[in-house]
């Protein structure tokens, strides 16, 4: 058993846990300097991501969850190598259900295609999903429990999820936590919000450019503070983030896998990376979010 960085997929774990849904989220960021360990070389990582969620209400108890997530990262995987683009496209299809005033659930299937998109084949397809059970303790606090599982180029991965959503009585202080995947703590001053967030991202990409037969095992732990401008009654959010990302992109031959990834641990992992370890670095990111307020819709009904 080998301890490793948290290997997690950015996913809609908090969907419908709050009184709002982020229908559209677009982000662009870049790290400043990521050094190759043991060398005098460094690289930087440019990233772009777009997340679309389209809930379809079936009745007062159930809603379909549909949408897609696209991510692109661009960096050097070896010292002095050309830049490589890694792409991931995820389709979201699931069901959000409300059983009573206390209990609700969300189950979402998350199939994806992840590679450099040069010579894509069926080997680029992976399948995952998330299941969450939510408990409404009171009007300000909701707990969530669940798990995430997926297939990846390195093997199977799963992790439990434990978290909560809290909104203060004056609606200024907010906590949205889904450990060990994500956390967001913020405070609102009128049209501006200041906050801190954490996101653990893990994914794999098959690389076929120049007849390569390898995959990238990507782990990132991103910690950032942010300043947010709230426009149109907090339905359009413009966010600037500055923080530290422990970006690491390890290359392995296709077929070189682990037995099981469980949260922060890997079982049966005797792999040796083909490239030097890429150290983390500071990063800057800008995000734009379109948010739909569910509570206002319920009041209108």
Q: Which domain holds residue 137?
A: 2-300
**Token pair of 184 as six digits:** 């967001």
Tokens at residue 129, please? 């999903």
Instruction: Label residue 263 by pLDDT band (50, 70, 90).
Output: low
Number of separate domains in the chain: 1
What single string gives the DSSP state of each residue in 179-212?
ETTEEEEEEEETTEEEEEEEEEEEEEEEE-GGG-
pLDDT of 107 strictly over 80: yes
Using 50, 70 and 90 to split pLDDT, how confident is the model at 18?
A: low
Could you give the dihedral angle defined by the CA atoms of residues 26, 27, 28 and 31, in that order, rounded to the nearest 10 degrees?
A: -160
Q: Which among 64-68, 176-180, 266-270 has the top mean pLDDT? A: 64-68
Of 138, 185, 149, 145, nearest in space to 161 by CA: 145
| Separation of alpha carbons 66 and 245, rounded Å | 29
Beta-carbon neighbour count of residue 276 at 10 Å? 17
User: 170-190: per-residue pLDDT in tens?
Assistant: 999 999 999 888 999 999 999
Q: What is the pLDDT of residue 295?
A: 59
């Amino acid at each position: 058993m080998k301890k490793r960085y948290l290997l997690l997929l950015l996913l809609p774990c908090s969907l419908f846990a709050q009184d709002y849904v982020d229908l559209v989220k677009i982000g662009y960021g870049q790290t400043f300097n990521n050094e190759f360990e043991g060398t005098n070389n460094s690289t930087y990582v440019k990233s772009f991501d777009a997340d679309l969620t389209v809930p379809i209400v079936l009745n007062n108890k159930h809603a379909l969850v549909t949408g897609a997530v696209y991510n692109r990262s661009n960096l050097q995987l070896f010292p002095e190598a050309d830049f490589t683009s890694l792409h991931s496209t995820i389709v979201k299809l699931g069901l959000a259900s409300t059983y009573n005033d206390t209990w609700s659930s969300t189950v979402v299937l998350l199939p994806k295609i992840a590679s450099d998109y040069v010579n894509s084949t069926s080997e680029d397809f992976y399948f995952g999903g998330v299941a969450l059970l939510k408990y409404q303790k009171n009007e300000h606090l909701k707990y969530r429990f669940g798990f995430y599982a997926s297939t990846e180029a390195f093997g199977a991965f799963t992790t439990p999820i434990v978290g909560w959503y809290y909104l203060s009585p004056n609606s200024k202080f907010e906590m949205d936590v889904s450990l060990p995947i994500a956390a967001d703590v913020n405070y609102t001053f009128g049209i501006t919000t200041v906050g801190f967030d954490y996101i653990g991202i893990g994914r794999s990409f098959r690389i076929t450019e120049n007849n390569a037969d390898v995959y990238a095992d990507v782990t990132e732990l991103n910690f950032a503070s942010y300043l947010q401008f709230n426009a149109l009654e907090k339905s359009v959010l413009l966010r600037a983030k500055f923080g530290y990302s422990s970006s690491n992109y390890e290359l392995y031959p296709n077929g070189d896998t682990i037995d099981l990834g469980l949260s922060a641990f890997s079982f049966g992992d005797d792999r040796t990376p083909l490239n030097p370890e890429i150290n983390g670095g500071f990063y800057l990111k800008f995000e734009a979010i379109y948010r739909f307020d569910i509570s206002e819709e319920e009041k209108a009904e």
